[in-house]
A = this chain, B = another copy of it.
Amino acid sequence: MRAALFDVFGTVVDWRSGVSRDVAVFLARHSIGGVDPEAFADAWRRHYSPSMEEVRAGRRPFVPLDRLHFESLQATLSEFDLARRDFADADLQELNRAWHRLDPWPDAVAGLPRMKSGLIIAPLSNGNLSLLLNMAKRASIPWDAILGAEVVAAYKPAPEAYLRTASLLDLPPGEIVMVAAHNGDLAAARACGFRTAFVPRPTEHGPSQTTDLKPEQDWDFIASDFEALAQPLVG
């Protein structure tokens, strides 16, 4: 194995805590009461897959995730009856960059340097390049490269997202392990010939999460967290 590629939202970083934290700041600054920041974050995230599906289905040319997030933010504000408020564009752009300011799960920052000692480590995320790069600089995530949807102009789980990334690395898919907390991501990677590693993140969606609580296939590696995963990957 030569490279480990990582899903990011949910797998490396805790998007729900980070986004709801910044939503709370935004609501307070605008003196808006009666909105639960975590419910707002969940609602915003519900637009995530449908927004990318427009691109995956070919109904829309590729646009970076920052732009999809911004459109989803505007839709979410409508859902919370906040669309009529006249927010400055700069304020909304600042809130949109909450997705650049997410904190890693604690074991991620501890485990990644060990994996980096023996493997190329990089995100294979649907986040755009500046999002992933700003996030990594802020949180000291030591990626060797920033890969993902924007670099290959394809959103996971489209096969092109995995196969074009392997081609950029000049590696056969079997020399790459995809690490994710989502069974669907791993199934798509496996179908492209990647090896697979599952790390559960049972509170990604909050305390009452029902999905991806456990591995749904015999993934090549299954580990409780990134520190535990480093051992079988790099010994």
A22 proximal to B (CB < 8 A):
no
Prevailing SS type, chain A contact patch: helix
Distance in angstroms from A139 CB to nearest chain B CB is: 12
Q: A150-B168, A168-B150 are in contact. Are A120 and B145 (CB under 8 A)?
A: no
Q: Which A103-138 residues have C-beta < 8 A from chain B?
A: 120, 128-130, 133, 136-137
Whether A137 lies near B150 (C-beta < 8 A) is no
The answer, yes or no, to whether A8 is at the interface (CB within 8 Å) is no
Q: How far is the CA of A184 from the CA of B165 in the complex (A)?
A: 32
- CB A90 to nearest CB in B, in angstroms, measures 14
Interchain nearest-CB distance for A119 vs B (Å): 9
Chain B residues, Cβ within 8 Å of A151? 151
Contact, CB under 8 Å: B150 / A144? no
Considering only CB atoms, which chain B residue lies closest to A151 in the complex?
B151
Does A120 lie within 8 Å of B144, measured CB to CB? Answer: no
Measured between beta carbons, the chain B residues less than 8 angstroms from A136 are 144
Bound Cα distance from A136 to B144, whole angstroms = 8
Decide if B145 touches A66 in the complex (CB within 8 Å): no
A64 to chain B, nearest CB (A): 9
Give the residue of B66, B130, B145 whose beta carbon is less than 8 angstroms from that of A129.
B145
**Which of B66, B129, B143, B144 is A169 in contact with, Cβ under 8 Å?**
B129
24 sampled A-B residue pairs with Cβ under 8 A = A66-B170, A120-B133, A120-B137, A128-B170, A129-B145, A129-B168, A129-B169, A130-B168, A130-B169, A130-B170, A130-B171, A133-B144, A133-B145, A133-B169, A136-B144, A137-B144, A143-B144, A143-B145, A144-B146, A145-B145, A145-B146, A146-B146, A150-B168, A151-B151
